[in-house]
């Protein structure tokens, strides 16, 4: 167990139902497992069913809340609507939505293909919209519900080679701020987490040399661990975060200005 996995705030989410998209691996898996360890019942949503099933099995092994995998492509409106209905039918409600599914298709602007642009906007931005819209009426009924959107520091400060990704994540931040205002009167909080570079397959796709450079530029001198992000998600999901809405919180080791 890494250092990051051993330190954890104590939060009791028993009786709460959480839905995490992109829960099959990386940050989404860490968030789903962490919410499950805190006692939530967790719907593990991923386009890759097998990976989501593994996450759900891990959560069930804690013997706390329930967990089940739901195969779903977050870009597909019909699938998203049907998945949210299935989750509510299975668990009886929905209190916490974590929009985490995300992809990169990096390339410099002059060489960026339409498909690269469209794919990234579809998963990162449209997916967040579709899931939040489908979940909203259940979140409103839950009383004190949470939406946690995984953005990126790329959406705050830009990053060469990521015009599509930066635009999608800046879009997620604007979406977060607006929906926070729309749902505030129903006591639903909506916040974004902006991770820096976190050690997952997505970051490792950049290559080891680039990652060494990033570590040097990061004031805290390391890549983030998925657990660093999951711990903030756990706090935002907790009752302690009830008065926090419409914010973007960086988990980046001090990298962004």
- Give 251's DSSP letter: E
Q: Which residue number, 125 or 188, has a Cβ lying nearer to ligand NDP?
A: 125
Q: Which residue number, 142 or 194, has a Cβ lying nearer to ligand NDP?
A: 194
For residue 17, how many other CB atoms are within 10 A of its CB?
Answer: 25
192: tokens are: 């974004």
User: Tokens 């009791």 map to which residue?
Assistant: 12
The residues with which 107 forms a beta bridge, in sequence order, are 162
Question: Shortest Cβ distance from residue 125 to ligand NDP (Å)?
Answer: 10
> What is the H or E stretch that residue 71 is in?
strand 67-71
Residues that bind ligand NDP (CB under 6 A): 21-22, 24-28, 46-48, 51, 72-75, 100-103, 123, 150, 152, 195, 197-198, 200-203
Question: Shortest Cβ distance from residue 137 to ligand NDP (Å)?
Answer: 22
Q: Which of 165, 193, 199, 227 is catalytic?
A: 165
- Residue 149 counted as an annotated binding residue: no
Q: What is the dihedral of CA 203, 204, 210, 216, to 10 degrees?
A: 70
- Residue 238 counted as an annotated binding residue: no
165 a catalytic residue: yes
Question: Shortest Cβ distance from residue 188 to ligand NDP (Å)?
Answer: 21
CA–CA distance, 135 with 131 (Å, rounded to integer)? 6
Strand, helix or coil for residue 75: coil
Burial class of residue 215, CB neighbours in 10 A (0-12, 13-18, 19+): middle
Q: Which residue number, 21 or 132, has a Cβ lying nearer to ligand NDP?
A: 21
Question: Shortest Cβ distance from residue 242 to ligand NDP (Å)?
Answer: 24
Q: Which residue number, 101 or 139, has a Cβ lying nearer to ligand NDP?
A: 101
- Residue 29 counted as an annotated binding residue: no
Write out the binding residues.
22-25, 100, 165-169, 198
Active-site annotation, residues: 165
């Amino acid at each position: 167990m890494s250092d990051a996995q051993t330190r954890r705030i104590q939060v009791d989410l028993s009786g709460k139902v959480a839905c995490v998209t992109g829960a099959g691996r990386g940050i989404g898996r860490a968030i789903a497992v962490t919410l499950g360890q805190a006692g939530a019942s967790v719907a593990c949503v991923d386009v890759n069913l097998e990976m989501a099933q593994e996450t759900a099995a891990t959560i069930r092994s804690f013997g706390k809340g329930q967990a089940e995998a739901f195969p779903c492509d977050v870009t597909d409106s019909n699938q998203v609507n049907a998945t949210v209905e299935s989750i509510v039918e299975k668990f009886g409600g929905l209190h916490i939505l974590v929009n985490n599914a995300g992809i990169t298709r990096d390339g410099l602007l002059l060489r960026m293909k339409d498909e690269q642009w469209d794919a990234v906007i579809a998963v990162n931005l449209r997916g967040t919209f579709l899931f939040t819209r489908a979940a909203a009426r259940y979140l409103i009924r839950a009383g004190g519900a949470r939406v946690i959107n995984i953005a990126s520091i790329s959406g705050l400060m830009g990053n060469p080679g990521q015009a599509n990704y930066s635009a999608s994540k800046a879009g997620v931040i604007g979406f977060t701020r607006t929906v926070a205002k729309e749902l505030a009167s129903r006591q639903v909080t909506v916040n974004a987490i902006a991770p820096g570079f976190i050690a997952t397959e997505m970051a490792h796709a950049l290559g080891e040399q680039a990652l060494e450079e990033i570590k040097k530029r990061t004031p805290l001198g390391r890549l983030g661990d998925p657990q660093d992000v999951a711990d903030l998600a756990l706090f935002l999901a907790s009752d302690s975060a009830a008065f926090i809405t419409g914010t973007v919180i960086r988990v980046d080791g001090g990298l962004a200005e």
